[in-house]
Structure 1
């Protein structure tokens, strides 16, 4: 997870970062579609999802 975020911060696209992590670790790495979707949405959208209060 951290590795993919760091790669994106270093100017790789989310798809490139996920592909690199999978190539280096395992084809099953980062297999959670919700997580890879948040990576693709970018840090601002991901922050909104994390900070969102389901009761508020």
Structure 2
């Protein structure tokens, strides 16, 4: 989640939504070449942090 928040310049999660999640996850797969499992974990964590805030 630190990485997610850094990518979005420490904006509060309540100010973000689906667009920010997509902007974070897409480069993970293409540039970062992470596995599908890692990308799914990042998606779950992103959804969780956005739903809690």
Output the TM-score relative to the length of structure 1.
0.42
Higher relative contact order (CA 8 A, sep 6+): 2
- Pair member with larger Rg: 1
Q: Which has the higher helix share?
A: 2
